[in-house]
A and B are shown apart, each in its own frame.
Chain A
Amino acid sequence: MATLLMHAIEQGLAYGIAALGVFLTYRILQFPDLTVDGSFVTGAAIASILILDGGDPFLALAAAFLAGATAGMVTGFLNTRLGISSLLAGVLTMIMLYSINLRIMGRPTLSMLRASTAMQVVGGSWSPLGSLAILAFIALLTLAVKLGLDLFLKTEVGLALRATGDSEAMVSAHAVDPRAMKMLGLALSNGLVALSGALVAQYGGFADIGMGIGTIVTGLAAVILGGSLIRSQRVGWMTASVLVGSLVYRMAVVIALRYGYAVGFQASDLKLITALLVILALVIPAVRERRLRKVSSC
């Protein structure tokens, strides 16, 4: 049971970084960015070829972030300079990235089985922690990203970014270029998504051209799920809620896998069970809230 929990948390946090990226564009910038399905794989691709070349796995994570940021800027360019609508710009970049990612990897699947990934290094040098070493590493990295994001969103530039999401007219009246803000937001967001892709690839031991499919869906699920569980307008709580949402989603998958058979479900019902568990996770707090309200209204 403990190992089950550990794996769910590891995956939940690793994918949670991508969810933070989706949160930044979807919630803060009010820009529905579909680039993420592509930039997630770009991060994985860049990291895996660097690692297979003998590079440092941690620097590979940083390189992945930069690659993702570049992808985000392409979408930004299409939207702000060429006037292509936000949704379409994201889709176009995602489509381009499919071909570019294949070129980067050189083949549809790349195995890092015999290479030194971040998990290997951490597992070795943090050995006193035993099997918790990888969890500790992922948790620390995710926490660092979350806190970094929180701090950034409270800076002048960060506030300008948040304001751009609320009203572009207002920010341009305050001598802030909304186009530059969008570029920054998209770059940062896709950088985070690519970082997540690199981390997940190292965790899984391989990069696959199809591993990004559904990133926008699971990212939004985490954002919305988290937002329903923790309602707050404060940045620190909002980012925390996104991570919680991601954890709940991954937990649902792990539980569905483990106990689905016992309830008579087949292997192909996995997605159904996962969705039902997520609905349960959403309904229970809502029901509790309604009950509390009824009690207090007496």
Chain B
Amino acid sequence: MKRGLSALLVVGLVCCGMGLGLSAAPLKIGICKIVAHEALDAVEQGVIDALTAAGYERDVDVEYLLANAQGDFGTAVAIAQDYQTRGVDLVVAIATPTAMAAVQVFRGTSTPVIYAAITDPVFIGLVPSATDPSTNQNITGVSDMIDVAANLQLLRDVSPEITRVGIVYNPGEANSATLTAMAQAAAASIGLTILTAAADSSANVQMAAQSLVGRVDAFYVTTDNTVVSALGAVLAASEEAAVPLLVADPSSLAHATLVHGFDYYQHGLMVGAVVLRVLLGERPDTIPVTYQSGAQIQLNLDQAAQIGLVFPAAVIEQASVIFYGGQLWKR
């Protein structure tokens, strides 16, 4: 009888506890990005989907505060401050300026800041080391650094006639500047020379691409927000020069000859995974920078036919998706 009563009491207490837990205020997660952009939007969606799949239902268990800094520095800072005054439990900052503002505002606090879509967090001073997170305090995140050497090697594999590669990039974008410098450093050992053309805004991309026509055997575009947003102009230049265009962003397959890179929705899912680790109790200063892996090669055979390029069998073997006859074919 006594055992029954005490069992009932325990069950009752547990139910009360669960009830209290269920009626507790939902988690507040601030997700901010520097501009509205396909890739960044995909990251945002990936994070939300990852959390939803793990059981954090939107508006029930977790409230998302989504913000877009419209490309403005002051607004990025204001958004981070707004998150602070609203008492968010965690911040996901997508792209460099928003991440910089978030880590500054939450400096010295216990609120975790998870950065996303940043190519080299060490180079820009966000974290002091890529492998040792012990001094990172409340900051950790996922890098979308692409394997530039692999990209260049891929161009070499496509055609041995490619010796000069033209890179159109925005020197004002941290990620792009880093990747271009890496390309220049890796080129020599792969037997390539790099020519660059700078475009500080999407309006200047066409001119920059045109300046490389006749001087290069291939065009290469990294994960440069500015150039990718005006990719059509680079494609037009590459067609005029009858040379292939390699873009490091798979979502741009329709505007390229071939792509080799990461899917940003996947990137978002990876960021979501890190967020989950932190929410479940792991401290950010125990999680080193996560580098995305699993780059895909996708080929646009229609575009290749237009410039008279035939992909070697070895390259086609590596591709996971092919665009041919106006249709996407998945392996």
Interface residue ranges, A against B (CB under 8 Å)? 3-4, 7, 11, 15, 98, 102, 107-114, 200, 203-206, 208-211, 213-214, 250, 253-254, 257-258, 267-268, 270-271
Contact = CB atoms under 8 A, between A and B. Distances in A.
A253 B96 CA distance: 21
Given A102-B172, A205-B104, A267-B67, A111 B125 contact: yes
Given A107-B177, A210-B71, A267-B66, A204 B77 contact: yes
B97 A113 contact: no
Contacts of A113: 100, 103-104, 107, 125-126
A7 B36 CA distance: 25
B81 A7 contact: yes
Interface string B71-90: 11111111101101100000
B18 interface: no
Nearest to A3: B85
Given A7-B85, A257-B67, A267-B66, A209 B75 contact: no
Question: Which residue among B66, B84, B125 has the maximum number of chain A CB atoms within 10 Å of its CB?
Answer: B125
A206 B104 contact: yes
Contacts of B305: none
Nearest to A10: B81
Nearest to A209: B172
Contacts of A7: 78, 81, 85
Question: Which residue among B36, B68, B81, B128 has the maximum number of chain A CB atoms within 10 Å of its CB?
Answer: B81
Interface of B: 36, 66-68, 70-79, 81-82, 84-85, 96-97, 100-101, 103-105, 107, 123-126, 128, 171-174, 177-178, 200
Given A7-B81, A109-B174, A204-B77, A270 B107 contact: no
Contacts of A267: 36, 66-68
A114 B173 CA distance: 21
Given A205-B103, A250-B78, 16 more contacts: A98-B200, A110-B125, A111-B100, A111-B125, A113-B104, A113-B126, A203-B77, A204-B73, A204-B101, A206-B104, A208-B96, A210-B71, A257-B79, A257-B82, A268-B68, A271-B70
B85 A206 contact: no
Contact of A108 (B76, B103, B107, B177): B177
A263 to B, nearest CB: 15
Contacts of A11: 74, 77-78
A110 B124 CA distance: 6
A206 B97 CA distance: 8
B146 to A, nearest CB: 18
Contacts of B103: 111, 113, 205
A291 B36 CA distance: 43
Interface of A, helix, strand, loop or mixed by DSSP: helix
B213 to A, nearest CB: 24
B177 A253 contact: no
B174 A205 contact: no
B9 to A, nearest CB: 44
A206 B74 CA distance: 11
A204 B104 contact: yes
Contacts of B75: 253, 257, 270
B159 to A, nearest CB: 33
Contacts, number: 107
Contacts of A209: 172
Nearest to B175: A108
B38 to A, nearest CB: 14
A206 B100 contact: yes
Given A4-B85, A111-B124, A206 B172 contact: no
B97 A109 contact: yes
Contacts of A214: 72
A158 B316 CA distance: 73
Given A204-B104, A205-B101, A268 B72 contact: no
20 contacts: A4-B82, A11-B77, A15-B74, A102-B172, A107-B178, A108-B172, A113-B100, A204-B74, A204-B76, A204-B100, A205-B101, A205-B107, A206-B125, A208-B73, A210-B172, A253-B78, A254-B78, A257-B79, A267-B36, A268-B36
Contacts of A257: 67, 75, 78-79, 82
A108 B173 contact: yes
B73 A211 contact: yes
A228 to B, nearest CB: 22
Contacts of B74: 11, 15, 200, 204, 211, 250, 253
Nearest to A258: B82
Contacts of A271: 70
A113 B74 CA distance: 17
Contacts of B107: 113, 205
A109 B100 contact: yes
Contacts of A205: 100-101, 103-105, 107
A214 B69 CA distance: 14
Contacts of B128: 114
Contacts of A114: 125, 128
A253 to B, nearest CB: 6
Contacts of A109: 96-97, 100, 124, 174
Contacts of A107: 123-124, 174, 177-178
Nearest to B176: A108
Nearest to A211: B73
A112 B100 CA distance: 9
A3 B84 CA distance: 9
B248 to A, nearest CB: 18
Question: Which residue among B71, B73, B75, B85 has the maximum number of chain A CB atoms within 10 Å of its CB?
Answer: B73
Question: Which residue among A98, A113, A271 has the maximum number of chain B CB atoms within 10 Å of its CB?
Answer: A113
Nearest to B76: A204
Contacts of B82: 4, 254, 257-258
